[in-house]
Structure 1
Amino acid sequence: MTTISLSRIDLRHDHVLMTHELRAAGYDDRDITRMTRRGDLHRLRHGAYTFGAYWQGLDETERRKLVAHATLRSARSPAALAGPSAADLYGVPVWDMGDEVHLARLDHKAGRRKGGKVQHRGTILAEDITVRGGLPATSGTRTALDMIALADVPRALVTVNGLLHAQETTPELLARRAAAMRYDPNTATAPIVLGLADGRCESAGESLTLHLAWRQHLPRPDLQVLIRDRSGRVVARVDFAWPALGVFLEFDGKEKYRRFRRPGETIEDAVLREKRREELICGLTGWRCIRLVWADLHHPERTAARIAATLSGERWAA
């Protein structure tokens, strides 16, 4: 039975194995087919594979990044990762953008969409291209503007906020480049996205909550508001707050509990600690708390009515 030997494989390319590399290591096409069927190899795209066990251990974002790497290695013309594929490389949130790999063509030829790959043609400045993790990619600023051109407002906002939070771009850089591109019909929503953009958002859920408040004509909240005890010591920080109205809002996504869970602490322990934290905040400020989860974002009108009722001091009846 054919088995794959690590000692015969060149692993310089982050576990992306091209067909010609497997052949050079002594595996013929029948070996490759057998190993793929057996699960020793996983096919990323035509002519590109990775180890099956390695693939199984990756999360959704890591899988997209690996496929993007394979696509870049397979490209027949010079290109750089762009849009959501570049955002994945930067490690910032990408929401509901599908699994296609997006590339910026650097040869000025026509763009095309085929085989899970979207090639974009456009004016690329020298400052628009960088290298991240050994791979060419559009800069943080260019990636943000490309997301505005590719996606609707909420999807674009998620990634733009992520890039701002990661300090891969700045509001000033975005405003300057957006002004230069204002006649591009694909960037018509840029004023909306950039007007909403706030790098203090720490997750996709927080960005979408900010968008919901704008879309449903709610007062714009303050973000990442510090809570102090009687001595002035900071004891907590809340996602959103309307201090003048005596309300704060927390978005409870799964990533929040994973991110802040202490060593040895279960999810249940983290939830209980969060409840005690809420009680502390309410006791210190006298504010009322609103908690949102992902399901609430799927019902924006109902969620907005609940927030509006709390802001006005009314009792919410679901």
Structure 2
Amino acid sequence: MEDFFETVAGHRGGYILRPDLLDLGVDDRQIRDAIRQKLIVRLRPGTYAPRGHRDLKPEDQHRLLAFAVQDKLPSGIVLSHQTAAVIHTGVSHGLDLGTVHVTRRGGMTARNEAKVVHHGGVLPDEDIVEVDGHLMVVPARAALETAAVAGTEAGLVQTSFVLRNGVSADELHERLGRMGRWPGATKVRLSVLWASPECESVGEARSLYMFRMGGLPVPRFQVEYFDADGCSLGRVDFAWEDYWHLGEFDGLSKYGRLNPYSGADLGQVVVDEKRREDGLRRLGLGMSRWVWADLHSPVATCRRIRAAMEQSRRLYGNVPRTVLV
């Protein structure tokens, strides 16, 4: 039976509609039984996905939900706001993945229904792009719409990622200038002004937001240091060179499922990181580290980093350094 649902879903790009099952002789009682047996997952009324849906990343689950929603709506409706942003960037910090956002071409009255938010407003043709057969707003507009609805931090993550993916800062600023009196325009403005394409992860983008809100100087990103023999001691996430201090956000990419040892030897990762940090300290540089949980306490974390920066400047202020971007 599991193979049957997978086959039916394959014809629609990963999801199943109730009429599909009824046409194939599966009645509502059998659909309820399949949900209870966890053979299928209910996405929204009358829309389901095979059990493998649970194994997808949250962003991929949202993508599937969005496509299923759009396919049941009238033509002329495009995916927008955080829904389009998640599809374009693959990241979803601060966003509600249980709700799909859409906009009708030519404008409409805003309204909500089950798991769908309909936005009004004019949507010109040049703001629309097709992805995997589905129409949605272009990455730059999606990022700005996200900031307007979800706030500056979530918007900063999205604007940083679209910049990293090739959208120009000029385009973001030009679009910002055209937003006029959009609701949430102040949040959008900050997300554009503070964004950086040098953020390589959500954690780094959130760290940048924390620095801005906490009054810390904006550091240089992704700076590589060398020893006296010209051998690389490694690249660091952040460098406050006026303070002789470095910063590292330690996330899953370093210690979790994406570590260079494929999860087989986390101890080796920790040992290598300790050696790298010791080498950098021998150059006369201090270092602060923080993890995801520290981003939830930004005031305390910034206070700790600030104190460490001041200490590094006192201890290492006259030590020469060799740096390569």
When normalised by structure 1's length, the TM-score is 0.89
Distance 2:274 2:100 in 1: 41
Matching residue of 2:210:
212
Letter in 2 for 1:268: G
Secondary structure at the aligned position of 1:143 is classed as helix
Count residues with an aligned counterpart. 311
Q: What aligned pairs does 1:246-261 form with structure 2 within 5 A after superposition?
A: 246-257=244-255, 258-261=257-260
Matching residue of 1:95:
93
Is the deviation greater in 70-79 or in 4-13? 4-13
Q: Is the 8 A contact 1:82 1:104 kept in 2?
A: yes
Structure 2 residue corresponding to 1:198, chosen from 192, 196, 199? 196
Distance 2:171 2:26 in 1: 50
Deviations 1:58-87 (A, max 9, x none): 232222222222211222353222122112
Letter in 2 for 1:187: A
Task: Name the CA shift for 1:104/1:25 in 2 (closer, same or farther; >3 Å).
Answer: same
Secondary structure at the aligned position of 1:261 is classed as coil
Task: Name the CA shift for 1:85/1:266 in 2 (closer, same or farther; >3 Å).
Answer: farther
Matching residue of 1:273:
272
Unaligned runs of 5+ in 1: none
Task: Name the CA shift for 1:270/1:14 in 2 (closer, same or farther; >3 Å).
Answer: farther
CA RMSD, Structure 1 to Structure 2 (Å): 2.2
Unaligned runs of 5+ in 2: 314-325
Matching residue of 1:16:
15
Displacement of 1:130: 0.8
Task: Name the CA shift for 1:260/1:164 in 2 (closer, same or farther; >3 Å).
Answer: farther
Q: Is the 8 A contact 1:247 1:288 kept in 2?
A: yes
Task: Name the CA shift for 1:159/1:260 in 2 (closer, same or farther; >3 Å).
Answer: same
Q: Is the 8 A contact 2:89 2:158 kept in 1?
A: no
Matching residue of 1:34:
33
Displacement of 1:30: 2.6
Q: What aligned pairs does 1:225-304 form with structure 2 within 5 A after superposition?
A: 225-232=223-230, 234-257=232-255, 258-263=257-262, 265-283=264-282, 285-304=283-302
Distance 2:259 2:2 in 1: 42
Displacement of 1:246: 0.6
Identity %, equivalent residues? 29
Secondary structure at the aligned position of 1:312 is classed as helix
Deviations 1:232-269 (A, max 9, x none): 45442111111121101000112443334234633333
Distance 1:10 1:245 in 2: 57
Matching residue of 1:47:
46
Letter in 2 for 1:65: R
When normalised by structure 2's length, the TM-score is 0.88
Matching residue of 1:74:
72
Distance 1:91 1:79 in 2: 21
Task: Name the CA shift for 1:134/1:234 in 2 (closer, same or farther; >3 Å).
Answer: farther
Matching residue of 2:84:
86
Letter in 2 for 1:24: D
Matching residue of 1:62:
60
Task: Name the CA shift for 1:274/1:14 in 2 (closer, same or farther; >3 Å).
Answer: farther
Displacement of 1:304: 1.2
Is 2:154 the partner of 1:180?
no
